[in-house]
Amino acid sequence: MLLEIKGLCKEYKRREKTFSVVDNVDLSIGQGDFVSVIGRSGSGKSTLLNMIAGLLEPTSGNIKLDDRDIYTLKDRKKSEIRNSRLGYIPQGFGVLYNLTVFDNVRLPFYLSKRQGDAAGRASFLLDEVGLSPLAEMMPSQLSGGELRRVLIARALMNEPEILIADEPTSDLDIETTKIIMDLFARINQNGTTILIVTHELDTLEFGNRVLTMESGRLTEHAQSNAAEKPYI
């Protein structure tokens, strides 16, 4: 199994009371899976993704990538894996405001010290997400949906084995959403494993598995049921 999550919990304290944001989650993801997670606001979806992306230490439980528990690795090794094997599209904005769009996209390439045509790949990805004309602009000059697409291109820069995306199309119109979801479907067909949190039920058709998060608990159900269970 590519990703094996067992008994994963995240607890926070609020006014002296401990509460579970992610509650005993088990999840196995195989190579080539396209997994969609839905659920109400505040149900723990981003917390779960942040832990899987190696950015937030669980209170208990473990996450194994190729049989190796990622939270037992040293920070340097963990960042190395994050840079080279995972692509992460965060829910908030994570662009660097002092770099151009183009430099934001190609940054992961240099962070992982890869060899090759970074500029060529960055241009290709900017074209894929429809941002070629904006390559030399600064992020402060972009709209919310354009910024989101910069993050999508950046997450794909190092050809990740696993793409983790937290509501990647939430700022996008229907047409641009389709362009991005088609891009995800294509890279999934080429072998990239995808884990996506989504609010748009019509994006569920792109995946092969649908899970619902409810008060920190994750349940899997047949895809056909998901569309019948709108929650928004």
> The tokens of 18 are what?
């401990």
Nearer to Mg ion, 46 or 104 (CB): 46
Rounded to a whole number of angstroms, the minimum distance from the CB of residue 93 to ligand ATP is 14
Give whichever of 51 and 157 is closer to Mg ion, judged by the CB atom: 51
Q: In what order do the strands lie in the sheet with 17-29?
A: 17-29, 3-14, 60-65, 68-69
Q: Which of 139, 163, 125, 152 is nearest to 33 (CA)?
A: 163
Q: Which stretch binds Mg ion (CB under 5 A): 67-75, 78-86, 89-97, 124-132?
A: 89-97
Cβ proximity of 200 and 165 under 8 Å: no
Report d(CA 43, CA 60) in Å as an integer.
18
Q: Strands 193-197, 3-14: parallel, antiparallel or unpaired by DSSP?
A: unpaired
Q: Which stretch binds Mg ion (CB under 5 A): 21-29, 88-96, 123-131, 215-223?
A: 88-96
Number of Cβ within 10 Å of residue 118's Cβ equals: 17
Task: Tell me which of 21, 194, 196, 218 binds ligand ATP, using CB under 6 A.
Answer: 21
Residue 198 contacts Mg ion per CB under 5 A: no
Four-point Cα dihedral 12, 199, 151, 68, nearest 10: 50
Position closest to Mg ion via CB: 46
Residues 75-104 that bind ligand ATP (CB under 6 A): 91
Identify which of residues 51 and 95 has a Cβ nearer to ligand ATP in the complex: 51
Among the residue ranges 36-44, 111-119, 149-157, 201-209, the one whose residues contact ligand ATP (CB under 6 A): 36-44
- Piece of 37-45, 126-134, 150-158, 178-186 that binds ligand ATP (CB under 6 A): 37-45
46 counts as binding Mg ion under rule CB under 5 A:
yes
- DSSP conformation letters of 99-125: S-HHHHHHHHHHHTT--S-HHHHHHHH
**How many CB atoms are closer than 10 A to CB 125?**
22
Integer Cα distance of 80 and 91 in angstroms: 22
Contacts with Mg ion: how many residues (CB under 5 A)? 3
Backbone angles phi, psi at 9, to 5 degrees: -135, 145
Beta carbon nearer to ligand ATP, 13 or 74: 13
We find the least distance from the C-beta atom of residue 92 to Mg ion, in angstroms, to be 9
Write down the least CB distance from residue 25 to ligand ATP, Å: 12
The contact pattern for ligand ATP, residues 41-70, with x = CB under 6 A and - = no contact, is xxxxxxx-----------------------
Contacts with ligand ATP by CB under 6 A lie at 12, 21, 39, 41-47, 91
